[in-house]
Chain A
Amino acid sequence: MLTAAARIHLREKFLTRRAAITGVNFAIAETGEFVVCTNEGNADMGAHLADVHIACMGIEKLIPQRKHTGIYLRLLARSATGQPVTTYSSHFRRPREGQQLHIVLVDNGRSTQLGREEFRNSLKCIRCGACMNTCPVYRRSGGHSYHTAIAGPIGAILAPNLDMKQYADLPFASTLCGSCSNVCPVKIDIHDQLYKWRQVLMKDGQGGAMKGLSMKAMNFTLSSPGVYRTAGKAGRWFYGTCRLW
């Protein structure tokens, strides 16, 4: 019902708009074409009806040759939704007659990330979303809690590259269970990078006073057996009280 209503409502928009902005999933260095994948057909409805098509892509979307697209198309949908391939995998090489086509290549921190040896692997991401779907933190907290455009484990390792201070909390919001690295089709060492970011952030003084304090407390507790036992008792007493409620 809702999907049908959205179809009707948005169809009117596709039919009356003069410019369409789409993303890009893969761009092929060999041929200069780019590929946009959707299940909905929204990119195609927009691009083929509008007078102007503006395609925006991160510079890391480039792959060497056309034949490599086959590998990525297989990986993307399988890891995203478990489908064998996206419904539409559209290859744009030239604008249609009378249409304008603009491609915007976006850096937004990518060239800096490329220079950070420990973190550059994150630029391999094809945005399949598998790491989010498997992440126990993401599944409970949802996308908005990441306060950045790209959520989930991959977002948590990309965002500090853009602004260490603003996104200092993200790499700490993880149990480092490693489920993300396990499912990633392009084998990004996501949880290792989360761990590495913590070290970079703490060195940079972005850990925050609370984190420093709790670490010190932990250090104190763990380094003295007596205190450790008292802390254990205090913990058990606390949980015991909880059960009475």
Chain B
Amino acid sequence: MSSRERILSAVKKNQPELTELVAYIQPESQEDLLGRFTSVLEGIGGTAIVAQDLAGVKSYLKEMWQGKGRIVSMIPELQELGELAGEADPHNFENVELAIIPAHFAVAENSAVWVTEELLQQRVLPFITQNLAVVVSKARLVATMHHAYDIIGSGDYGFGTFIAGPSKTADIEQSLVLGAHGSKSMTVFLI
């Protein structure tokens, strides 16, 4: 008997009585999503910026980041600011100072943005970069995680992630410090 068979047969033997799956409750929401998103993101150490359009994002980022190091931009309209990630070895992104990525949508209750591999080209990009800028449409703001999974539905992806704020840890200094292994800052542009 392989260990797999042994475990599965033990699990089968020890099954509790089946219970009904509880009803899945969809919370209602009519609140001010933009205000909520902005204040939650600021609360967790990120920055939210409401911009008119991509041109606004471009001029902001240009002023902040141009000449400060390597920039990778996954948004074609912002190509002037940085190169595309492309098919390179993920280790090549080690020296990226700023990564600019689009997101499918954003969640107001926890200020997370949802991104998948197809938007990133390189899975490691939003983690290995020193600083992260995310662009998402204001119209793609949802209230809660329940609404978020409604949108994700049965969509296919090899890798997808919710990102909420800059990386952080309290494990080392016993108080929360921003900038653990992932990006040290996160700016979300809502257009």
State which of A45, A83, A92 has its C-beta within 8 Å of the C-beta of B159: A92
Once A41-B182, A87-B165 are accepted as A-B contacts, the answer to whether A94 and B13 lie under 8 Å apart by CB is no
* Cα–Cα, bound, A84→B36 (Å): 12
Which segment of B47-55, B97-105, B171-179 sits at the interface? B171-179
Number of residue pairs A-B, CB distance < 8 angstroms: 165
Chain B interface bracket (under 10, 10 to 19, 20 to 34, 35 or more): 35 or more
Query: 1/0 per residue A54-94: CB within 8 Å of B?
Result: 00000100001011111101100100010111111111111
**Residue contact A3 to B16, C-beta cutoff 8 Å:** no
State which of B24, B145, B167 has its C-beta within 8 Å of the C-beta of A74: B145
A68, closest chain B residue (CB)? B24
Chain A interface bracket (under 10, 10 to 19, 20 to 34, 35 or more): 35 or more
**Besides the known contacts A48-B122, A74-B145, 12 further A-B residue pairs in the complex with CB atoms under 8 A apart:** A40-B181, A40-B182, A48-B124, A49-B128, A59-B11, A70-B145, A86-B164, A91-B160, A96-B90, A96-B123, A96-B158, A120-B16
Interface set of B (CB-CB < 8 Å, partner A): 3, 7, 10-11, 13-16, 21, 24, 40, 44, 90-91, 94, 107, 109-112, 117, 122-124, 127-128, 144-146, 148-150, 152, 154, 156-173, 177, 179-183
Interface set of A (CB-CB < 8 Å, partner B): 1-4, 6-7, 10-11, 14-15, 31, 39-42, 44-45, 47-49, 59, 64, 66-71, 73-74, 77, 81, 83-96, 105, 107, 111-112, 114-115, 117, 120
